[in-house]
Structure formats: structure tokens, C-alpha cells
Amino acid sequence: MLVAITRLVSPAINHCELTHLERVPIDVERARLQHHAYEETLSGLGVEVHSLPEEPHLPDSVFVEDTAIVFDECALLSRPGSEARRPEIESIARALAPYRKLFTLQAPATLDGGDVLTVGRTIFVGLSSRSNQSAIAQMQGFLKPYGYTVKSIRVTGCLHLKSAVTQVGTDMLLINPAWVDKLNFSGMKIIEIDPSEQYAANALMVGRTVLYQPVFPRTQARLEAAGITPLLVDESELGKAEGALTCCSLLFTAL
């Protein structure tokens, strides 16, 4: 069974961290309705959704992906690049403890889960403003016994690696080549986003289903041309907080 850990939208979301976007007002109630529809979509796909209570004093806490990376053998608690987000980790650790052995990154490592893309036994980690080389070295130490290969990738122009590339098939990636070099992913089939939709590279695979946002119709057409019919889910209000579909859940198999 697939499990998704999510969290309700904080009433403080308008005080979220921003790096690449100008601040514009977020409609909290609309964000909550969209996020609830996202959770309902996951449930409709057979995912067991565990929705954690809101964190009134942690504006970005709905973006649970940044707090941990879950593998079949263990889970790695991150150390977010924004110090203000580190209090989010404690409740996520409690939520994950029944499912996985937990490892924890230590200073000087910084890592946001949005910078981690796992494809099979290869883990691509974005070197961004939020994640550093020390985190990659510690990840290699934790995960080598389980047969994973960790590869670092330079990210420019966006917050996280998964802003620039996500998996949309067993051997297929959706990518914004302006933000990450597609040569890093040799052997994979590549779908490039439409250049007019620079934030369009974020999609969420749930089993064989690809969740995608309806605000990127030109890139959606490219997915469909490649044989992928996405299930559309709108999280556009959280996009004002530099969020996206992968950000809003920790998705893993209950073993």
C-alpha cells in the first residue's frame, strides 16, 4: 500500500520563505481547498493519506517533502537550508517512525527534500541555495549499504531540483533544460517543458498515474504527445509560495 504524509496549510502561509518569486497575497482558504482536493485525489488512487495538523507558527510546513526522503529501507530526515524551517522536522520524525528506520543529517549539512530525485537506485541531489555538498557526503554514507548511488547536480534559476526535473515514467523525465543540464540524466527519455511555462517541470508519479497542474497546458500537450495522460490537480495557490505537487506529500510504500 502507498502511504502519503501530508500537512494542513498553515494560517501563516503568507509569511512563507521566497527565493525566486515576488511576494503576492495567498488566499489561505483557496489554498486549503486546493490542498484538500490534492489529498482527496491521492485517496482516490488508493493511497492511505495521513494528514498532520496545521503548524500555525511554521508558514512553509505544508511542504512536507522538504523534511525527509523516504526509501524502502530507511528514511533520511533532512536539515533544511532555511533555519526557520528546521522545527518542522520533529513532527515528521514522529509520523515516519512507525514505518522506517530514521537517519538524521548533521551540521554543516543542509538539505531540502525538494532537491532529491530518486530514480531506481540512483539518487540525484541538487546543489542549490538550500542543499550542500556536506549533505550529499552524509547521504552517501547512510545509503551506500543499501546499494544506492548518490549523484550531485548543479541547479540554477530555481529553488529546488524538482522545480527543474521530475519523473513521469519508469525511464522518462520531464525537464526544464534552462535550470538543469539534461546531460546529467543519460539513458533516460526526456520531455522538455514548453519554454513559455518555466515552472512546468514538476509532476508527481503515484504508481502509474502522473499528477499534473492544469496551469501548464502547453507542456501538458507535450506529455500527452509522449503517451502520458496526466490527472490534473490544481495547487496553484501554493505555487505563490514556490510550492508544487511533489512538495505537498511524502509518498512511500508501507512495508
Q: What is the pLDDT of residues 54-70, one digit of tens each?
A: 999 999 999 999 999 99
- The 10s digit of each residue's pLDDT in 148-165 is 999 999 999 999 999 999
- Residue ranges per structural domain of the chain: 2-253
CA 36 to the chain's CA centroid: 17
Residue among 16, 158, 160, 248 flagged as catalytic: 160
What average pLDDT does this structure show over 23-28? 98
Domain 2-253 adopts which CATH fold?
L-arginine/glycine Amidinotransferase; Chain A (3.75.10)
User: Are 80 and 66 contacting, i.e. CB atoms less than 8 angstroms apart?
Assistant: yes
248 is catalytic: no
What average pLDDT does this structure show over 184-209? 97
The whole-model pTM stands at 0.96
- The 10s digit of each residue's pLDDT in 83-99 is 999 999 999 999 999 99
Angle at 99 between CA 210 and CA 118, to 5 degrees: 40
What average pLDDT does this structure show over 132-152? 97
User: Are 202 and 177 contacting, i.e. CB atoms less than 8 angstroms apart?
Assistant: no
CA 118 to CA 169: how far, in whole Å? 12
Buried b (16+ CB within 10 A) or exposed e, 73-88: ebbbbbbbbbeebeeb
Question: What are 3's three cell numbers?
Answer: 502511504
247 is catalytic: yes
Average pLDDT, the chain: 97
Cis peptide before 87 (omega within 30 of 0): no
Burial of residue 116 (number of CB atoms within 10 Å: 0-12, 13-18, 19+) = buried
- For every residue of 30-61, DSSP letters joined together read HHHHHHHHHHHHHHHTT-EEEEEPP-TT-TTT
CA 197 to CA 200: how far, in whole Å? 5
Residue among 16, 35, 158, 247 flagged as catalytic: 247
Residues of the chain above pLDDT 90, percent: 100
pLDDT at 255: 87
